[in-house]
Structure 1
Amino acid sequence: MSMTLEMKNVSLRTGDKLKVKGEILHDAEKFQIDLGWDSDDLALHFNPRFHDDADGAVLVCNSKVAGCWGDEKREKYNTLQKGSDVKIEVKLSGDVFEVELPDGQEVQFPNRVGMDVITYIRVAGDFKLTSFKIC
């Protein structure tokens, strides 16, 4: 059973962190963490996939402007496991997003659209959210 948490009118700025804890479902295909202005303008789309046609288990990052996706950044080293409890931290560092995974792996993705304030957050997909914190 997939879930969606969607928050509008938040205010994340450079130096802020988003901490997400939860369980990746046993039959997970994918889930996502999106940060931006709204669902059509995303500075960060973090999308772990467990059955990608091209690469199997892969971490995909992207951005979206006016509903149009940019070029995907694909990390073929995906340490996330279906059925596991995880904590994922996303740090806004100005010109880059730093995503820290449970094993210490870090994925960096450029702030391509130069958003200095994030007002929209969505966590969705095959993920059971247990804790959500902005600090």
Structure 2
Amino acid sequence: MKTKECYLKSIVLRPGDQLKIQGKVASDAERIRIDLGADEDNLALHFNPRWDDAAIVCNSKHESTWGEEERHDNPLQRGATLKILIKLTGNLFEVELPNGEELTFPNREGMEVINYIRVKGDFKITSFKLI
């Protein structure tokens, strides 16, 4: 059930906005990635659940150069319905996981407008909403 890359166009995320992505994780999932930024070489948030090494990796990218990874335990389940809520507060991203756990990641590049959103991996999107 590997998804194709999904680029969401004509969407602008600003401080105070929330992005809700819901879908189904493949039963044999290895990785999912949700990228938010200006383009593929400039990412304010790279959110990357990995089942192949039991971690959620968050990072940023500036002019094609990755920053330092932040790693968290991955509580997400293969084969499950997944709802992720991402809030941009200005200097911080807050990512709410289905179990109520919240991960935070700094907006290292200080991006005030996110107009590049890409979802890729072992995940089928069923709902996408900007709140």
Indicate whether the TM-score tops 0.5: yes
The counterpart of 1:73, out of the listed 47, 57, 70, is: 70
Shift of 1:2: 1.7
How many residues in Structure 1 have an aligned counterpart in Structure 2? 130
The counterpart of 2:84, out of the listed 80, 88, 111, is: 88
Aligned-partner SS, 1:51: coil
Which ranges of structure 1 fall in alignment gaps of 5 or more residues? none
More strand by share: 1
- Supply the distance in 1 between the matched residues of 2:41 and 2:97 (Cα, whole angstroms): 26
- Letter aligned with residue 2 of structure 1: K
Q: TM-score, normalised by structure 2?
A: 0.96
Q: Which residue of 2 aligns with 1:47?
A: 48
Please list every run of at least 4 consecutive aligned residues from structure 1 whose deviation after the TM superposition is greater than 6 angstroms: none
Aligned-partner SS, 2:9: strand
- Supply the distance in 1 between the matched residues of 2:21 and 2:11 (Cα, whole angstroms): 16
Aligned-partner SS, 1:60: strand
Which ranges of structure 2 fall in alignment gaps of 5 or more residues? none
- Supply the distance in 2 between the matched residues of 1:8 and 1:131 (Cα, whole angstroms): 15
Q: Which residue of 1 aligns with 2:56?
A: 59
Q: Which residue of 2 aligns with 1:33?
A: 34
- Letter aligned with residue 2 of structure 2: S
Shift of 1:127: 0.4
% same residue:
57
- Supply the distance in 1 between the matched residues of 2:82 and 2:116 (Cα, whole angstroms): 22
Shift of 1:86: 1.2
2:126 counterpart of 1:130: yes
Q: TM-score, normalised by structure 1?
A: 0.93
